Amino acid sequence: MSTTAPDPLATLGALPGVAEAVDSVRKAVDRVYGHRVMRRRSNEVTAEAALRGARGSAALSGADWNLEEVRRRTDFSGDGESQVIGAALRLTAEAGQLLSIWRQSPLRVLARLHLVAAGGAAPDEAVGRPRLAGEPVDEPLIEAPLPGADEVAGRLEGLSGLILAGSAAPALVTAAVVHGELLALRPFGSYNGLVARTAERIVLIGSGLDPKSICPAEVGHAEQGRAAYVAAFEGYLSGTPDGMAAWIAHCGRAVELGVRESTAVCEALQRGAA
């Protein structure tokens, strides 16, 4: 007698409170997609969402710049904060180009994201591949114990397998797990937070929840604050049902706040103020 393999992501989708978070996110996304500005000026909303998402992701990685400074600056080759901003902008621009590859080889996409983020700032041999045993990791926000290189390799393969197998789970659940797992593993020597949040963006776009990439979850993660982000991530690390549900809900709230940001952009465009 054959049995169907369990769908671990769908199991997470059934946790208490997760269905409510998923429903709230879907309603928020539907509202902004229904805005009249989206009929003719969606490309402008997408571009602004990308800029604001990059700024938010960089803020979580320690480069909390004013939006207008990010918009104005053209050279990001200076100090560490400038390089973080530049990496976040490059990643946001790259995300939409990698959807077809993500569906076939998530690990290739992650390698590409790290390569794009590093932009020549890291030693060549360390760029675009998971770290080896003994190699250091520079991740300013996440201080959780660092898994060993062998564990990282195994769990990356497991994550890739989950993505390739597909799931009945809502997009929010998959995006939150991809984000959380990459933060937990910190597979690269640098820019892991930026890469994890970009991977979350790719899942949300590729799933069809946010196909025009106008709901920047990075904005919402930053708005909730670094302390709340770390606290929610500790729930993911715990692996408990309550902890996992809290992390998924936190990611859902981040998407909703991103929706609010883009709704404000739509309103400004409608008034002719942006």
Tens-binned pLDDT, residue by residue, of the chain (274 aa): 344 567 889 999 889 999 999 999 999 999 999 999 999 999 999 999 999 999 999 999 999 999 999 999 888 887 889 999 999 999 999 998 999 999 999 999 999 999 999 985 545 677 889 999 999 999 989 999 999 999 999 999 999 999 999 999 999 999 999 999 999 999 999 999 999 999 999 999 999 999 999 999 999 999 999 999 999 999 999 999 999 999 999 999 999 999 999 999 999 999 985 4
The tokens of 239 are what? 């692996």
Which residue, 98, 31, 85, is CA-closest to 58?
A: 85
CA 106 to centroid of chain Cα atoms: 14
245 and 18 Cβ atoms separated by less than 8 Å: yes
Give the span between the Cα atoms of 217 and 254, in whole angstroms.
5
Which residues lie across from 138 on neighbouring strands? Answer: 190
41 and 269 Cβ atoms separated by less than 8 Å: yes
The tokens of 128 are what? 């675009």
